[in-house]
């Protein structure tokens, strides 16, 4: 009987447009509350502050490396071969690499490329995968079939193998070209999530209600479906930041990512492997910086998922 | 069940064709003349070059070349290198190494990852749970090649309990450390996925029913929770076998294992197009077969799938 | 719904020779510790059920009726749930003081439960035969084969057609009504003394509801079981229950033998519920509705929890929580089994 205890139902002949707006406001309010709730959860997690703190430092390093070191890796005489593989000392706290370059300075200047790759790739995969996912999910039919088959092809091709092939064709790279290649190979992941969310939301009662009340397709897509797919896409994008920074390092390590004279932590690690047993510092310092960076972004992704993925609540 | 299998195989064919076509085009877009590359520094003999071009259908349009290639693949012929060595020979020499590596890694990540995930879920919020959460975070964050180098130094060189590199000690000794390194990231993801999935299904109505039936806890967890929790994990494992074969490129280089990965990198560098296409096709085939197996396993785990 | 007039066909409560009731809940309290504070879901519930007797517990969602049942079953999630106070006596023994293992042995064997949504309450990846047979395997050590034979027997018992052919089917392959029959079969498997049915027919079509309810009532009579029927549907109650307990905000606000409650409610909340049933003889008139919303369990109103929604509320209702008063006739003669937690029960029942 509980249903009956609620007040009488509203008269049937209400203005349709009013009700459509009301439904939209409701959807928007739900979305707003989802984000607000997520923010409330985030604010209480120490992990959020730790990762945010590290990321702020990393951003500062990427934007203004000059603030953190008085040297420049691009100046003449920066690398002195007689310093090759010298261990850490005062003024050169990370020591020198094989070429006799100061590892601390190179690590600082390498931040920018890692951040560029992480941010650009994560955003590009989200934009491309998200857009195609919305189209496939909304249109359905042959568009969906073709796009879904295409993503299966990409899924079957391991990232490293694909990158290996593309890099050998287009040749050596900087942060931008590596980002582009990884975005080309990485978008199907976001596509799948977005498509799944759109299809799931398409059949939700509130979308049906909006449709019944006469809202048109674009309106439904942008006012009703899109906001409700945002949470999982935000989560996967955040998590991808760390994943792609790590992937760039792996590609550079294999010699198919960022190339000399660009600076990349992965490349620095690669250069240090041959003499790792005798001079581990040349590998361990860039490796530590890289690991901390990836950890910060993965941690951020983790807390963001806990906060925004309704299924995790 | 039979129809399900047939349908999944039929669905895999366009993907296979799509991938091989993509690879084929990518590879043949590689810069440089392969025949010239074969000759090295000196100029290639034009007659020999012409003959080789003819033999490898290099004068035909790309699509015809692709046709020659794909029909070969389906009859079990991966082609030959430009020096006349059958690719299947390279595969049979190198593939077992990669397969042993990947399967060992697969076993490690499945067993350790799932076990850690289950314990974390059952002891939610306790020490074990936090330990799993933190250690997986660290494992995900440390790049494979860094972890590999460090373990190689610590365990291989300093302690000396594992071989530093190479496969001279055979399976399992030579493979354990590389496989662990290769498995590390996925293992962490599997542990987290198992934990999340387990915690979700432990709250399910049917678990409440199982408790209400007076079943012992062991049975509630082992029979009524675990199987349902493993469904997403199995999906991940299937997708991951392909990634492991790709990831082997790094591990093989790091530990100097003579597998497919090293060969692939070398062949790309040397512009040995048929080898590259052959090896990548093989990797994709393995991925597709693994996915097929996963789909079948999926149907075994979840009866709702079978009758759709 | 014509149930109000209906009187025939209800079995009278069977009196047991011994005086201990099958189940007695005494002053039970349950609270949940949430992020936003402590939610008091059950605040001092008392009721008894004897063998062969059907107690209907009626209330809106959030009234604590299901939580009470879960506390009896011992399937509350603890934490966040907690039982700070109270006793649950099964054949005179307090189950809250028993070890986990002792309670487990009671579950399924002595007290069984039927859940609302059979689709989600049955394990989707195990065949129904397995899930039914499990009862015999776990509690009686039956072999796989015996368990399967008994499962088929049970499915026959609850009138599932072609039981032996369908024993290996999975829950999703059955219709809603058939699935609920399987739930019932599972609860009946070991012929328990008490069955708790938590909204057993809510998820079903109206036509199927009656069949399932009839089956449940029939089997209850056959096995002489006690039955606690949790529902929000007054129509279901009238046909099968012997007595009713109406719950609001974690308290019992009225108890009565079933037909007396329909004839003369002694609590404004019960009256409101009865008045909000659509009736054919009042067609065209506006349907009555209790105004307001069920209380927030984190902040139950002071005094009588129902006071903000009650048409009869007075100052005393906002300060003093009413106890469950014995309800009497105008002349003071006691009405057996009737109680009302309302300061104005006299005015309510006698107009």
Is the pLDDT reported for residue C5 higher than 60? Answer: no
Strands C194-198 and C54-58: unpaired
What does residue A161 show for φ and ψ, rounded to 5 degrees?
-65, -45
Span C120-134, average pLDDT: 90
Domain boundary among B30, B53, B87: B87
What is the SS3 assignment for B81?
A: coil
Tally B–C CB contacts below 8 A: 71
Query: Which chains have 3+ CB pairs within 8 A of C?
Result: A, B
pLDDT, residue A158, reads 79
Distance from CA of B44 to the nearest CA of A (A): 23
Per-residue model confidence as pLDDT tens digits over C203-217: 778 788 888 888 888
Nearest to B212 among C113, C127, C138 (CB): C113
Per-residue model confidence as pLDDT tens digits over B171-213: 787 888 899 999 999 999 999 999 989 988 888 889 999 999 9
Is the pLDDT reported for residue A19 higher than 60? Answer: no
Decide if B232 is inside a domain: yes
Is the pLDDT reported for residue C11 higher than 60? Answer: no
The confidence band for A191, taking pLDDT boundaries of 50, 70 and 90, is very high
What are the boundaries of each domain within chain A? 34-73+94-312
- Of all residues in chain A, the one with the smallest CA distance to C272 is A5
Cis peptide, bond prior to residue A84, ω within 30 of zero: no
Does A253 contact B247 at a Cβ distance shorter than 8 Å? no
Distance from CA of B30 to the nearest CA of A (A): 5
pLDDT, residue B1, reads 63
Decide if B157 is inside a domain: yes
Residues B285 and B183 in one domain: yes
Q: 10 Å Cβ neighbour count for A15? A: 8
Residues B282 and B209 in one domain: yes
Q: Please, what is the angle between helix B87-122 and helix B127-141, to 10°?
A: 150
Tally A–C CB contacts below 8 A: 30
Q: What is the mean pLDDT of chain A?
A: 78
B chain contacts of residue A273, beta-carbon cutoff 8 Å = 145, 149, 254
Nearest to C108 among B206, B214, B227 (CB): B214
Higher model confidence: residue A266 or residue C18?
A: A266
Distance from CA of A3 to the nearest CA of C (A): 9
What does residue C229 show for φ and ψ, rounded to 5 degrees?
-110, 110
Nearest to B141 among A152, A254, A298 (CB): A298
- Of all residues in chain B, the one with the smallest CA distance to A157 is B284
**Cα–Cα dist B139/B145, whole Å:** 12
The tally of domains found in chain B comes to 2
Nearest to A249, CA basis, from A230, A272, A221: A272
Does A4 contact C287 at a Cβ distance shorter than 8 Å? yes
Is the pLDDT reported for residue A260 higher than 60? Answer: yes
Does B157 contact A302 at a Cβ distance shorter than 8 Å? no
Half-sphere exposure of B144 (CA within 13 A, CB side): 33
What is the SS3 assignment for B282?
A: helix
Residues B216 and B131 in one domain: yes
Which helix (DSSP H) or strand (DSSP E) does residue C231 occupy?
strand C226-231
Does A250 contact B145 at a Cβ distance shorter than 8 Å? yes
Distance from CA of A57 to the nearest CA of B (A): 18
Distance from CA of C225 to the nearest CA of A (A): 27
% chain C with pLDDT above 90: 7
Q: 10 Å Cβ neighbour count for C180? A: 31
Query: Among the CATH numbers 3.40.50.300, 3.20.20.70, 3.30.70.20, 3.80.10.10, which is that of C23-241?
Result: 3.40.50.300
Residues B28 and B112 in one domain: no
A chain contacts of residue C291, beta-carbon cutoff 8 Å = 7
- Of all residues in chain A, the one with the smallest CA distance to C233 is A1
Residues B20 and B152 in one domain: no
Domain encompassing residue B101 = 93-301
Span C178-191, average pLDDT: 88
Domain boundary among B71, B87, B103: B87
Higher model confidence: residue B117 or residue C117?
A: B117
Interface residue C36 vs chain A (CB under 8 A): no
Half-sphere exposure of C294 (CA within 13 A, CB side): 19
Does C107 contact B208 at a Cβ distance shorter than 8 Å? no
CATH top-level class for A34-73+94-312? Answer: mainly alpha
Per-residue model confidence as pLDDT tens digits over A108-166: 888 888 899 999 999 999 999 999 998 898 888 888 888 888 888 888 887 888 888 78
Nearest to C273, CA basis, from C288, C251, C294: C288
Cβ-Cβ contacts under 8 Å for C4 (sequence gap 6 or more): C238, C262, C274, C277
Does C286 contact A8 at a Cβ distance shorter than 8 Å? yes
Residues B167 and B272 in one domain: yes
pLDDT, residue B113, reads 94
Interface residue A90 vs chain C (CB under 8 A): no
What are the boundaries of each domain within chain C? 23-241, 247-279+287-350
Residues B239 and B134 in one domain: yes
Distance from CA of A208 to the nearest CA of B (A): 25
Residues B193 and B58 in one domain: no
Per-residue model confidence as pLDDT tens digits over A250-259: 888 888 888 8
pLDDT, residue B55, reads 66
% chain A with pLDDT above 70: 84
Residues B279 and B202 in one domain: yes
C chain contacts of residue B228, beta-carbon cutoff 8 Å = 123-125
The confidence band for A11, taking pLDDT boundaries of 50, 70 and 90, is very low
| Interface list for B 173-212 with A (CB within 8 A) | 196, 200
């Amino acid at each position: 009987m509980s249903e009956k205890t609620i007040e009488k139902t509203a008269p049937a002949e209400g203005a349709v447009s009013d009700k459509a707006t009301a439904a939209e406001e409701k959807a928007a309010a739900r979305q707003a509350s989802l984000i607000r709730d997520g923010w409330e959860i985030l604010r209480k997690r120490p992990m959020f502050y730790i990762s945010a703190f590290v990321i702020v430092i990393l951003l500062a390093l990427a934007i203004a490396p000059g603030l953190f070191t008085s040297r420049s890796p691009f100046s003449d005489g920066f690398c002195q071969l007689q310093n090759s593989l010298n261990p850490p000392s005062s003024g050169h706290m990370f020591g020198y690499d094989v070429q006799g370059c100061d590892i601390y300075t190179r690590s600082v200047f390498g931040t920018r490329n890692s951040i560029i790759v992480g941010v650009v790739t994560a955003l590009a995969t989200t934009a491309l995968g998200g857009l195609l996912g919305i189209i496939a999910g909304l249109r359905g039919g042959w568009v969906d079939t073709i796009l879904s088959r295409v993503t299966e092809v990409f899924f079957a091709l391991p990232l490293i193998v694909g990158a290996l092939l593309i890099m050998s064709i287009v040749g050596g790279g900087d942060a931008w070209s590596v980002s582009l290649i990884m975005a080309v190979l990485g978008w199907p992941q976001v596509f799948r999530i977005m498509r799944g969310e759109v299809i799931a939301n398409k059949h939700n009662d509130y979308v049906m209600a909006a449709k019944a009340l006469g809202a048109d397709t674009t309106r439904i897509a942008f006012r009703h479906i899109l906001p409700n797919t945002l949470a999982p896409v935000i989560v996967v994008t955040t998590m991808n930041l760390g994943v792609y920074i790590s992937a760039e390092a792996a590609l550079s390590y294999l010699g198919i990512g960022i190339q000399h004279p660009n600076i990349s932590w992965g490349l620095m690690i690669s250069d240090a492997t041959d003499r790792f047993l005798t001079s581990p510092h040349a590998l361990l310092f860039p490796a530590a910086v890289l690991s901390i960076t990836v950890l910060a972004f993965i941690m951020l992704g983790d807390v963001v998922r806990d906060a925004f993925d309704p299924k995790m609540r | 069940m039979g129809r399900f299998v047939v349908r999944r195989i039929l669905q895999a064919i366009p993907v296979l064709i799509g991938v091989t076509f993509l690879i084929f085009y990518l590879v043949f877009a590689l810069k440089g003349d392969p025949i010239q590359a074969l000759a090295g520094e000196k100029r290639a003999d034009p007659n020999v070059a012409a003959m080789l071009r003819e033999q490898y259908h290099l004068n035909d349009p790309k699509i015809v070349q692709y046709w020659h290639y794909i029909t070969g693949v389906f009859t079990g012929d991966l082609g030959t290198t430009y020096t006349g060595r059958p690719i299947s020979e390279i595969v049979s020499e190198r593939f077992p190494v990669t397969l042993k590596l990947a399967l060992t890694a697969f076993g490690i990540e499945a067993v350790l990852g799932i076990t850690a995930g289950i314990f974390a879920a059952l002891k939610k919020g306790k020490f074990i749970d936090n330990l799993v959460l933190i250690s997986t975070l660290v494992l995900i964050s440390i790049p494979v090649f860094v972890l590999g180098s460090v373990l190689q130094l610590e365990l291989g060189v300093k302690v000396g309990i594992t071989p530093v590199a190479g496969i001279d000690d055979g399976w399992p000794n030579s493979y354990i450390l590389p496989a662990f390194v290769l498995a590390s990231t996925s293992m962490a993801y599997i542990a987290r996925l198992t934990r999340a999935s387990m915690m979700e299904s432990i709250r399910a109505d049917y678990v409440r029913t199982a408790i209400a039936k007076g079943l012992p806890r062991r049975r509630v967890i082992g029979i009524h929770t675990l199987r349902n929790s493993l469904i997403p994990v199995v999906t991940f494992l299937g997708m991951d076998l392909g990634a492991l074969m790709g990831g082997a490129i790094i591990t093989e280089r790091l530990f100097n294992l003579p597998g497919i990965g090293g060969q692939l990198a070398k062949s790309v560098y040397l512009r040995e197009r048929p080898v590259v296409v052959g090896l990548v096709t093989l990797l994709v085939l393995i991925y597709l077969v693994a996915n097929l197996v996963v789909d079948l396993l999926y149907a075994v785990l979840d009866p709702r799938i079978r009758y759709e | 719904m014509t149930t109000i007039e209906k009187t025939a066909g209800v079995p009278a409560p069977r009196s047991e020779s011994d005086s201990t009731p099958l189940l007695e809940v005494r002053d039970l309290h349950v609270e949940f510790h949430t992020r936003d504070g402590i939610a008091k879901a059950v605040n001092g519930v008392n009721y008894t059920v004897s063998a062969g007797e059907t107690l209907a517990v009626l209330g809106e969602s959030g009234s604590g009726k299901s939580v009470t049942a879960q506390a009896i079953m011992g399937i509350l999630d603890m934490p966040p749930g907690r039982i700070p106070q109270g006793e649950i006596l099964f054949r005179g023994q307090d189950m809250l003081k028993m070890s986990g293992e002792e309670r487990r042995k009671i579950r399924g064997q002595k007290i069984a439960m039927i859940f609302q949504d059979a689709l989600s309450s049955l394990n989707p990846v195990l065949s129904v035969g397995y899930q039914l047979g499990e009862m015999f395997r776990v509690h009686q050590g039956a072999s796989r084969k015996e368990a399967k034979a008994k499962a088929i027997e049970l499915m026959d018992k609850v009138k599932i057609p072609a039981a032996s052919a369908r024993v290996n089917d999975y829950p999703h392959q059955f219709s809603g009504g058939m699935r609920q029959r399987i739930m019932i079969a599972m609860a009946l498997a070991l012929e328990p003394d008490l069955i708790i049915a938590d909204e057993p027919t809510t998820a079903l079509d109206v036509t199927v509801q009656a069949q399932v309810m009839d089956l449940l009532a029939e089997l209850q009579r056959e096995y002489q079981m006690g039955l606690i029927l949790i529902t929000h549907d007054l129509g279901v109650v009238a046909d099968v229950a012997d007595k009713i307990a109406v719950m609001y905000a974690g308290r019992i606000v009225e108890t009565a033998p079933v037909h007396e409650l329909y004839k003369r409610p002694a609590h404004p909340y019960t009256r409101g519920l009865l008045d909000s049933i659509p009736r054919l003889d009042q067609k065209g008139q506006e349907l009555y509705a209790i105004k307001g919303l069920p209380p927030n369990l984190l902040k139950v109103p002071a005094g009588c929890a129902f006071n903000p929604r009650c048409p009869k509320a007075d100052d005393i209702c906002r300060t003093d929580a009413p106890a469950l008063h014995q309800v009497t006739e105008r002349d003071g003669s006691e009405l057996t089994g009737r109680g009302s937690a309302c300061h104005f029960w006299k005015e309510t029942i006698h107009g």
